[in-house]
Structure 1
């Protein structure tokens, strides 16, 4: 059985919901749905990717190791702003991705949530 390593960021929801920010099993890294504060979708997306980048570094990885992102947004008409921010980090590595609109996220202030999968 492969060793499982977990990262917690201390966010209050981690204890309430019972989840880890990220888990590494062998060469696979999975990062939970991540949100961030920001005035709009573009700013939130940038901040989310930076949070994921920090988690990846704790496992000896970086954004170039990301093979998939799953983006959830509350207003799909803002897809270009979300996509622009995503592209600032991933335009060269181009992981597979999904972007879908959801009716709401955990807080009305949260407009975007992203999950990440990476391989070392």
Structure 2
């Protein structure tokens, strides 16, 4: 597989956990759970759900840009949310704002905890390059 088919930010978590942010397989781009890392790999918003979701969406856009695809080519997503009852409305509102009129398949799971202390949200997704941008 060509190196351009794999995308990484070059942050410590990738080598610590042994994963890539995304990998292209044919026409599909499989994206690992995105969270609120900044450009250096730091996690600047522990406990702040709204800030984490904004940064997570920005990181999703970084992956999409690497492959030259858009949000409208996302076919499915899985959201992991700590304290989903408390954050359900904000999750739905942010999802609608992020996707506009596009409607990918989606699953939202309430979880007890995520990898980092204070991490409240993570989003994994799949994009299909055959869809119109």
Does the CA contact (< 8 Å) of 1:67 and 1:119 recur in 2?
Answer: yes
- Give the match for residue 76 of structure 1: 84
* Structure 1 unpaired stretches of 5+: none
Pair 1:21-2:29 in alignment: no
1:114 to 103, 123, 127: 123
Matches within 5 A, 1:1-120: 5-36=5-36, 37-38=44-45, 40-77=48-85, 78-120=87-129
- What residue is the counterpart of 2:41 in the other structure? none
Q: Deviation string for 1:38-97 (max 9, x for gaps)?
A: 352222122111111111111111111101110001111111111111111113111111
Moved more, 66-75 or 86-95: 86-95
RMSD: 1.6
Q: TM-score, normalised by structure 2?
A: 0.82
Q: Which runs of 5+ in 2 are unaligned?
A: 37-43
Aligned residues: 119
